[in-house]
Chains A and B, each alone.
Chain A
């Protein structure tokens, strides 16, 4: 049967040429359109490493001196005002946990802090870039975001209770620790930060689970916990974890009018209340991810619809034209299954050969220009290791997806007429000859 399938294809090469070329072009186009869509979908689907549900970010600012409510009492202590404000905020219904931080330093913020580190060992001479997040000790940052510590590290409660007062203590994510001290417990290890006279040692005091700073890249954060002597500032922010069942949007709507009346503390006032999903959306939009993702996905959807209709139509017509030929096979002993198998086999073989050629052609292009890397690592060192950054794996995976999609279209396009032809009365099929 395989021989007759090959012979049919070879002897009908003139008639199959256009559909063959169409499939080669379709393979290259599918690659070009689906690769960015799949990478962007994959990047969006990588777990954040923390619980982004039921989070709200409250931005706090200071009244301008021209504001009639401004308190010009110079004896006020900003830290006291901040703690008082946080106490009020926590008293508002529906708050489960909260953590103050430098404004714009919440996760998924559009601001990115970068630091350069070397391991405090002779062989490490290269300073690696890492995303860093700075938080205020004594707050419940880990609990608020739902970040867990890893085995061998102090618990979340212990880490939150530390003072980090010496500014030379840090927390790191697991992947980050593994890069520097693979297979070892990183707690107690030291990094070198800075160059020359500014060089200083910092000690890892805890290791937490991996989490991503933004939703669209694959960078793992390094977490730095230290007391910022300039804090509290005129502006800061509070990330609030709401109680189960609370909707961030509804909570924000309830909180805003209350905050106007009740949250003015010293000269601090609530400037904005933003559900975390809006923060994510704003950041994605700010980086141009949203339109890019929409374009990639819409293009992919449009392409897939056209692919299905085009390939389906081509194979439908191709198969319908061969009713008489199938009647001859039936007359000489072919069973329905033989007819169905032959038509299906020819279509799948044709599509497979065309796919291989198209895939090889695209490989030449990819070797020159590279495959789609998404938003990758933003130049950071600690990148989540995925297939996207491994050329071989990336090429194999997208090739497999493109092949499966093409084969599904071809199988559907052939299935309907092949099933119909194989069920037709043999006399009727012979009349078609």
Chain B
């Protein structure tokens, strides 16, 4: 489902060159729940951004769903992100001026040729995360756990094959974290979605199918 080959990522400024990722090779199978662990600054989020086509590797190739993303134009990348990937961020990244329902609809706005009922799909996604009663609220009126559930609803509304979660429980207490992890496991087990999750929490990582450890941009163990 996801194949990374010889991925390198170097951040350059005028005076400093930082190797964020070095020669990373990774395969994630369809329906797998993979967790990525490592200390802060080891390149976990950079890797997730590269898998999510939000950032380009300095060298190496990314294959998603059997397609190489090398040389894709901005339009193609945007379309690929829209149709194949769903993101869950640590700080939720909900749009504060849009209602819960409208936040969830966002990916459908950019779905090419979509003729269906966007609101109905968004409602279904919210029902799935148990937040259909909050659809007319605004992000500022939600708790952290609720906000993250909205973010998950937004990630799944377009029915993507891959969900990328960057420390989805990083800003939540243990009870809410458990709820979010439960939802992610349901999406993986029941819906068969491939999930790649960055986490600092070993217990959460232990619940996943496989864990990859990173240190200083290197993949150290699997």
* A interface residues, Cβ below 8 angstroms from B: 1, 4, 7-8, 11-12, 15, 324-325, 327-336, 338, 425-427, 430, 433
Tell whether, in the assembled complex, residue A332 and residue B95 are in contact, meaning their CB atoms are under 8 Å apart. Answer: no
Q: Contacts A427-B54, A427-B55, A430-B89 known; A332 to B97 CB distance under 8 Å?
A: no
Contact of B82 among A325, A333, A433 (CB under 8 A): A333
Determine the residue in chain A with the shortest Cβ distance to B84: A333
**Interchain CA distance A244-B202 in the complex, whole Å:** 96
Q: Is B93 engaged at the interface, CB distance under 8 Å to the other chain?
A: yes
Task: Give CA–CA (A335, B87) in the complex, Å.
Answer: 16
Measured between beta carbons, the chain B residues less than 8 angstroms from A333 are 78-79, 81-83, 107, 110-111, 158
Task: List, in ascending order, chain A residues with CB within 8 A of B78's CB.
Answer: 330, 333-335, 338
Expressed in whole angstroms, the Cα–Cα distance for A329 and B78 within the complex equals 10
- Chain A facing B: main interface SS: helix
- Asked whether B89 lies within 8 Å of A12 as measured between CB atoms, the reply is no
Interface residue? B167 (CB, 8 A): no
The CA of A330 and the CA of B106, in the complex, are separated in Å by 10
B residues near A425, Cβ cutoff 8 Å: 54-55
Bound together, the chains give a CA A15 to CA B97 distance in angstroms of: 10
Nearest CB of A to B102, in Å: 6
Give the residue name and chain of the A residue nearest to B112 (CB).
A333
The complex places the Cα of A307 from the Cα of B116 at a distance, in Å, of 44
**Cα of A322 to Cα of B171 in the assembled complex, Å:** 23
Q: List 20 A-B contacts (CB under 8 A).
A: A4-B102, A11-B138, A325-B97, A327-B93, A328-B93, A328-B95, A328-B106, A329-B106, A329-B110, A330-B54, A330-B78, A331-B81, A331-B93, A332-B158, A333-B78, A334-B109, A334-B110, A335-B110, A338-B78, A433-B93
CB distance from A418 to the nearest CB of B (A): 15
Shortest CB-to-CB span from A325 to chain B, Å, is: 5
Q: Is B145 an interface residue (CB 8 A)?
A: no
Chain B residue nearest to A14 in the complex (CB): B97
Asked if A332 and B54 make an inter-chain contact with CB atoms under 8 angstroms apart, the answer reads no
A8 touches B98 (CB 8 A): yes
B124 at the interface (CB under 8 A from A): no
What is the CA–CA distance of A411 and B45 in the complex, to the nearest angstrom? 36
